[in-house]
Structure 1
Amino acid sequence: MATIRQLPNGNWEAFGEAGRDSEGRRRQYRRQFDTKRAATREVARMELEVAAAAKAAGVGPTLSEHCEWWLAGRRGNIAPKTFDSY
């Protein structure tokens, strides 16, 4: 799951996981945009690209990756204390 945040300079940053390379190391992406809308579009594009690559390779996310994705989707939508209990 990707994250979008506003930087002190007013730009928006999109960053997230892009799967693993052939040696098993995590691949990540981090890009800056002028608008939140552009960052949101990039996140959606990257998530589709990562999912398509995993499907083509016949590899799904690990349990750990899926749990991280699920938790990231809950952050900000539930009380911080509830999130910490997960």
Structure 2
Amino acid sequence: MSYSTHRRKVADTTVPLEHRASHARSCALHVANKLAVRRSDVLNHVKQQTGIDLDMPCSDEALAIAFASIDALRSGTEQLAQPAA
């Protein structure tokens, strides 16, 4: 599936939160591939920036905030922190 398809499914509030979080993690994989990093790097960035763990988001609002961070990485308005040397 494409990023856009997963993105639509993240926004579908008729689907259970856990299922939508799975689609958000799939979007993180697409972004990781685009940036040539590991998916865990993207998920860690989201957790660091938002305080939200996409393995277990607590609410629809939390999922939306975390997904906005993924979207910002994809669009280039946010940058992944470079690992310390």
- Where on the TM-score scale, by shorter chain, does this alignment land: which range? 0.3 to 0.5
Larger radius of gyration: 1
What TM-score do you get using the length of structure 1 for normalisation? 0.33
What TM-score do you get using the length of structure 2 for normalisation? 0.33
